Chains A and B, each alone.
Chain A
Amino acid sequence: GENVEQHPSTLSVQEGDSAVIKCTYSDSASNYFPWYKQELGKGPQLIIDIRSNVGEKKDQRIAVTLNKTAKHFSLHITETQPEDSAVYFCAAPKGGGATNKLIFGTGTLLAVQP
């Protein structure tokens, strides 16, 4: 089955710096890779996702890169702001398909120091 590993578990950066979170997955059939931001007491919110047919996707200060050969994908946040502080989860579906269950990474607690 799918196994998703996420690093680091905690990340502290100064406001304005960049933050990078990395994930690896095991199921070569996985073809969709979302990133979620979760604030305390709230549900995970999708912030960006990437399909396996592209290597990079960018949305303003957030970007995701995918290396299918190495089976890893990364979240890049530039010009971090205090409101970026949250727990970030990567995920990958078990196998391909739009409705397969998501397997989550263990999360990264990002703290942006003002």
Chain B
Amino acid sequence: AAGVIQSPRHLIKEKRETATLKCYPIPRHDTVYWYQQGPGQDPQFLISFYEKMQSDKGSIPDRFSAQQFSDYHSELNMSSLELGDSALYFCASSSTAEYGYTFGSGTRLTVV
């Protein structure tokens, strides 16, 4: 079965650079979520989109922005990167037709 696809798997950036993370949800899933997970921590909700519109917003820094495109894929744009942004970033998708969130394998961002 198709899963949530995230790219890239690993990303190394320098401070103050920008990064773009991509997420391709499961086909026919209408909601996408972004989570940030620091070392030894639980995933923290950043932002979500339902039918290409922002549906909820969590602890996402102003330096970050995200959008969902017409093909339902989503991108998380991160600017002015800081060392503290180093983390695993997960995307998940779900459908209003059924319960169940599926997570991607994540992008490991390292800011040096």
Interface residues of A (CB under 8 A from B): 32, 34, 36, 41-46, 49, 51, 89, 94, 98-107
A98 touching B99 by the CB < 8 A rule? Answer: yes
Measured between C-beta atoms, what is the minimum distance from A35 to chain B in Å?
Answer: 12
Measured between C-beta atoms, what is the minimum distance from A100 to chain B in Å?
Answer: 8
A-B contact count (CB 8 A): 63
A98 touching B105 by the CB < 8 A rule? Answer: no
Measured between C-beta atoms, what is the minimum distance from B41 to chain A in Å?
Answer: 8
A89 touching B42 by the CB < 8 A rule? Answer: yes
CB-contact partner of A34 in B56, B88, B100, under 8 A: B100
In the bound complex, how far is the Cα of B56 from the Cα of A94, in angstroms?
11
Chain B residues within 8 Å of chain A by Cβ, number: 31
A106 touching B42 by the CB < 8 A rule? Answer: yes
CB-contact partner of B45 in A41, A49, A99, A101, under 8 A: A101
Q: Could you say which residues of chain B place their CB within 8 Å of the CB of A99?
A: 30-31, 48, 50, 55, 94-96
CB-contact partner of A46 in B90, B100, B106, under 8 A: B100
Measured between C-beta atoms, what is the minimum distance from B83 to chain A in Å?
Answer: 20
In the bound complex, how far is the Cα of B103 from the Cα of A102, in angstroms?
12
Closest chain B residue to A6, Cβ basis: B42
Secondary structure at chain B's binding surface: helix, strand, loop or mixed? strand
B2 at the interface (CB under 8 A from A): no
Question: Beyond A99-B30, A99-B31, is A44–B99 a contact (Cβ under 8 Å)?
Answer: no
In the bound complex, how far is the Cα of B45 from the Cα of A94, in angstroms?
11
Question: Beyond A99-B30, A104-B43, is A45–B103 a contact (Cβ under 8 Å)?
Answer: yes
CB-contact partner of B42 in A32, A42, A51, A107, under 8 A: A107
Q: Which B residues from 33 to 79 make CB contacts under 8 A with A?
A: 33, 41-45, 48, 50, 55-56, 58
A49 touching B42 by the CB < 8 A rule? Answer: no
Q: A34-B101, A43-B103, A98-B97 known; 9 other A-B pairs, CB under 8 Å?
A: A43-B4, A43-B105, A49-B99, A89-B43, A99-B95, A102-B45, A102-B101, A104-B42, A107-B41
Measured between C-beta atoms, what is the minimum distance from B105 to chain A in Å?
Answer: 5
